[in-house]
Structure 1
Amino acid sequence: MKRPVVFLDRDGTVNEEVGYLNHLSRLRLLPGAAQAIRLLREAGFAVVILTNQSGPARGYFPEALVHEVHAELRRRLAAEGAELDGLYVCLHHPEAGCPCRKPRPGLALRAAEELDLDLSRAFVVGDRWVDLALARNIGARGVLVLTGYGRGELEYVLPQKGLEPDLVAEDLLSAARLILSRRA
């Protein structure tokens, strides 16, 4: 049976937004992120990170760093009893036109196929308009967190883009609790 899923953005949602995460020393989990992932998984959701990481394509740092950051992110989450079902990354330049770069649905569709996920019971949680547009593009519910770029996106960007979140949460832990209270 296909599982419901919560897709998470990485930067500004699970870990601190620092611009380009160009060194492992800059990785910091946001408070409550591991607990949120644990709660969602305990409730039967798959939890999958979908992230755009164009730094290597722009020449800012090597692709190997992205993989090193993801390994460390998984390690830190595991140390707090949280595990991801998947972590999918688009490494392409924004102008490459690839189908996997959010808000395009490529990463979500690949995850759904590989992990047997039910997109009709999906949520997308993030701090940027691309996360809400992705939710719209795959028929999921979009949750804006006010961490990272969230507050500015809510006030300035979303109205210009004609996007409205289904839910707004202070942070990922609050988002998890909202999702669990509105579970389909």
Structure 2
Amino acid sequence: MPDANRLVILDRDGVINRDSDHYIRSLDEWIPYPTSIEAIARLTRAGWTVAVATNQSGIARGYYDEATLDSMHAELQRRVAKAGGTIACIVYCPHGPQDGCDCRKPQPGLLEKIRRKLGFSSLSGSWMVGDSLRDLEAGRPLGCRPVLVRTGKGRRTEAAGKGLADALIFDDLAAFVDWLLHVD
């Protein structure tokens, strides 16, 4: 059975790639941080499972379609594979904030989907890495250990100071991976 203690779940926008208050609407606008792809590859080469859980309400808002989102995720997978890593699973919520779904973070539905897809009995002990409080809140009911990165909206989230008492905080995904592989 897979080991949840060796699972890292990542938010996408603001953790792996640059975020925008105007949404990432095309493959051209999807720009990974310089060290994030290699950080994911280093994790998988070290025996960790990596998954991505991302809110993509731009679909519900009509800013882009699922085919465009699929092209961004295919490029993410391609770049990670080229660096020698893999992403086991990418899940997304296409709904808007008013849709009342159970998959839009901070609801835990996306993480439950990852759990089922990857065959975990629980996510207790896994890591949830995000740049917003909603990312961390999605993982807490499932026993995920919260990590905030300062990229994306992370500095604003840290400055607000709410809900971070149990979170580890790092400058970016690469800094978290450096730490995790050192303590592993």
Structure 1 unmatched runs, 5+: none
Residues 133, 163 of structure 1: 8 Å contact kept: no
Residues 34, 81 of structure 1: 8 Å contact kept: no
Q: 1:18 maps to which residue?
A: 20
Q: 2:105 maps to which residue?
A: 102
Quote how far apart the aligned CAs of 1:143 are.
0.5
The TM-score with structure 2 as length reference comes to: 0.90
Quote how far apart the aligned CAs of 1:182 are.
4.3
Mean alpha-carbon deviation: is it higher for 104-113 or for 38-47?
38-47
Higher strand fraction: Structure 1 or Structure 2?
1
Alignment counterpart, residue 49 of structure 1, candidates 49, 52, 62: 52
Residues 45, 84 of structure 2: 8 Å contact kept: no
The TM-score with structure 1 as length reference comes to: 0.90
Q: 2:129 maps to which residue?
A: 125
- SS of residue in 2 equivalent to 1:94: coil
Residues 41, 80 of structure 2: 8 Å contact kept: no
- SS of residue in 1 equivalent to 2:68: helix
| C-alpha spacing 1:150/1:165, structure 2 compared with 1 (3 Å) | farther
C-alpha distance in 2 between matches for 1:25 and 1:94: 25
- SS of residue in 2 equivalent to 1:21: coil
Q: Percent sequence identity over matched residues?
A: 40
Alignment counterpart, residue 6 of structure 1, candidates 5, 8, 11: 8
Whichever residue aligns with residue 180 of structure 1, its letter is L
Aligned length: 180
The 5 Å alignment of 1:1-184 reads 1-3=1-3, 4-19=6-21, 20-117=23-120, 118-156=122-160, 158-159=161-162, 162-183=163-184
Residues 36, 172 of structure 1: 8 Å contact kept: yes
C-alpha distance in 1 between matches for 2:108 and 2:37: 25
Structure 2 unmatched runs, 5+: none
